[in-house]
């Protein structure tokens, strides 16, 4: 296991849809271990493989003291209830913006051994799952902000000293929840 540098906004890997995992092998288990360790070292609630430069559909989370991971996830948004709350991203360090997310989700996928896994989450866990699955599609949480909030966020991020903001281009247009 090793702590791996986290890619920052402006890195093309964050805008590239990740590929499904095919082999549930030792390499996958090392990836899950690296994601988990890197997430803990950074103090994050979740981390997706593209954030450490690996284009595979894997993410980890650490919410309410529970750590988990999911491979090749698909997420169902449950019900119509949403919640707006401050959200951040380890790839956009130092910034938090209010983002509206579904309150409840059910995510299904596989664990690192290839066994099926189902995760039900609300509030922060639901938010983390939606955020991380977005990463696997090249979507960042700032893409999910309301247009006005997004413009304000962009203006703020333009002052960030850790990336070339010329790379700020939503890869896909997403509709707000």
Known binding-site residue numbers: 89, 131, 135
Residues 85-104 touching Ni ion, rule: CB under 5 A, are 89
Residue ranges for the known binding site for Fe cation are: 89, 131, 135
User: Nearer Cβ to Ni ion, position 89 or 133?
Assistant: 89
By the rule CB under 5 A, 45 interacts with Ni ion: no
CB neighbour list of residue 72: distance below 8 Å, 6 or more residues apart? 20, 21, 57, 58, 109, 110
By the rule CB under 5 A, 18 interacts with Ni ion: no
Phi-psi region of 53 (alpha: psi -120 to 50; beta: other; left: phi over 0): left
User: Nearer Cβ to Ni ion, position 18 or 89?
Assistant: 89
The pair phi, psi for residue 24, each rounded to 5°, is: -90, 75
Which pair of tokens denotes residue 130?
């939606």
Strand-pair partners of 60: 47, 69
By the rule CB under 5 A, 128 interacts with Ni ion: no
By the rule CB under 5 A, 52 interacts with Ni ion: no
By the rule CB under 5 A, 145 interacts with Ni ion: no
User: Nearer Cβ to Ni ion, position 75 or 89?
Assistant: 89
Which pair of tokens denotes residue 92?
């956009």
Interface residues toward Ni ion, by CB under 5 A: 89
The set of catalytic residues is 132
């Amino acid at each position: 296991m090793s702590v791996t540098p986290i890619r920052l906004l402006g890195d093309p890997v964050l805008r590239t849809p990740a590929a499904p995992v095919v082999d549930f092998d030792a390499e996958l288990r090392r990836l899950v271990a690296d994601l988990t360790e890197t997430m803990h070292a950074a103090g994050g609630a979740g981390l997706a493989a593209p954030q450490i430069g690996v284009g595979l559909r894997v993410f980890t989370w650490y919410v309410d003291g529970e750590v988990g991971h999911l491979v090749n996830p698909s997420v169902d948004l449950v019900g119509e209830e949403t919640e707006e709350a401050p959200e951040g991203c380890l790839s956009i360090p130092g910034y938090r913006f209010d983002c509206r997310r579904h309150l409840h989700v059910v995510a299904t996928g596989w664990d690192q051994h290839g066994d099926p896994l189902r995760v039900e989450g609300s509030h922060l866990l639901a938010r983390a799952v939606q955020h991380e699955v977005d990463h696997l599609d090249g979507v960042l949480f700032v893409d999910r902000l309301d247009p006005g909030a997004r413009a304000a966020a962009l203006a703020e991020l333009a002052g960030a000293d850790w990336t070339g903001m010329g790379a700020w281009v939503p890869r896909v247009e997403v509709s707000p929840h």
